Amino acid sequence: MLKPFSQMAFAVIISSVTAAMSLGAIDTGGTLYYTTFAGGANLHKVDYSWTAGVLSFSNNTNIGTGVAGADGILFLPNGNLAVGGQGRRVHEVDLLGNLITTLSVPTDSYHLSLSPGGKVLYSSSIPGTPTAITLNGSGGLVGATAAVLPVSGTQSVLDTIAWAPNGTTLYTSSFSGGNGVVGKLAIAGGPESPTSATTSAPVALAASHGMAYDPFSDSFITMGDNAISRFSSTGVLLETITFAVGTDFDQGTVDGLGHIFAANNGGDLFLIDYSATGTLSAASTIFDRRFLANALDDLAPKVGPGSIDSIPEPVSMGIWCVLAGIAVFGGLSRRRRSLLPLFARPSA
């Protein structure tokens, strides 16, 4: 039976949206927000492209005049940036670099992690006792509350925390050069209302400083010293790759499309393209590095909690377009039905 026109139109719209999403899977460029650990202008953003295995940058820009101390960086649910202040402080800064507020916290703040539900910001030294910051109702730091998160178990001081969708939580613990441990973290009360945490099952590892969960390979990516490792979503070490002696990986991020971005304190940004297999050590994996900035430190997440994509929107423009298209084609369908007496009706 011939489908009513409105159903065909809807199918065309959905097919177009699906095609657009598929095209997004080969995206080879974007914007990174990052910090440098030296004084002065320490908040930055840069556009990058990844073409034929070559990484390049453009529009490398200082955001504002900087803040007093900058290390970890991520997007808050309200759309502003949170920046670890290299002391007992966390800054909230808008995307133009304007300081919104500085929140005093009970422990030193370097690396930052945002809970899966976006209600709690975790802050810790490198390593140190973490602080849990309950954000305000808008997802910001104005009026937020901060409390020490007591950690017991094998390891009591942490660097970075990351979550997999299955609920597995990993932590890293090392000094700035890596060469520490990676293990599992159990948070009493859950990540959105934590009361305490317990560590267990640590693995001694060079790549034990920065970390990100990558939905592309359903695995945790850890980094530190001159190594990058990959853990399964259940916390099992899968593989490690090493680079030249003298490489000093700090924090990194992923784009969810098979690309890993790793910041080297020496100033180079490394890009690892493992999109062909999802395996770092595969022969098809492509590597490149380009100098980005002196004292390069941390990168804001590109996907997952703390990324710009995780900021809630009432309804995205793409959905509005789909809804508008359905409404237009629906109207055409009704008009067509009104004209059907002039033409032969479709038969069953």
pLDDT, averaged in runs of 10, over the chain (348 residues) = 36 34 55 92 96 96 88 98 97 95 98 98 97 98 98 97 98 96 98 98 96 98 98 98 96 97 98 98 97 97 94 53 43 40 36
Instruction: Please report the sign of the dihedral spanned by the C-alpha atoms of residue 88, residue 142, residue 36, residue 28.
Output: positive
Q: Tell me the pairing of strands 296-299 and 73-75.
A: unpaired
Q: Which pLDDT does position 66 carry in this prediction?
A: 73
Distance, in Å, from the CA atom of 271 to the CA atom of 259, rounded to the nearest integer, reads: 7
Q: Which pLDDT does position 314 carry in this prediction?
A: 53
Contacts of 79 (CB under 8 A, 6+ apart): 95, 308, 311
Q: Which 3 state secondary structure label does DSSP give 15?
A: helix
User: Edge-to-edge strand order for the sheet containing 81-84?
Assistant: 73-75, 81-84, 87-93, 99-109
Q: Which pLDDT does position 337 carry in this prediction?
A: 40
Q: Which pLDDT does position 147 carry in this prediction?
A: 98
Contacts of 268 (CB under 8 A, 6+ apart): 289, 290, 291, 292, 296
Which tokens is 169 given?
């939580």
Nearest C-alpha neighbor of 199 from the set 165, 223, 164, 235: 235
| 323 backbone dihedrals φ, ψ, rounded to 5° | -60, -40
Query: Cβ-count burial of 165 within 10 angstroms (0-12 exposed, 13-18 middle, 19+ buried)?
Result: exposed
CATH class of 5-323: mainly beta
Distance, in Å, from the CA atom of 324 to the CA atom of 343, rounded to the nearest integer, reads: 28
Nearest C-alpha neighbor of 84 from the set 175, 168, 159, 184: 159
Q: Tell me the pairing of strands 151-153 and 237-242.
A: unpaired
Q: Which pLDDT does position 112 carry in this prediction?
A: 98
Q: Helices 317-339 and 5-24, interaxial angle, to 10°? A: 160
Buried b (16+ CB within 10 A) or exposed e, 7-33: eebbeebeeeeeeeeeeeeeeeebebb
User: Where do the domains of the chain lie?
Assistant: 5-323
Nearest C-alpha neighbor of 310 from the set 42, 64, 101, 119: 119
Q: Are 188 and 211 in contact (CB under 8 A)?
A: no
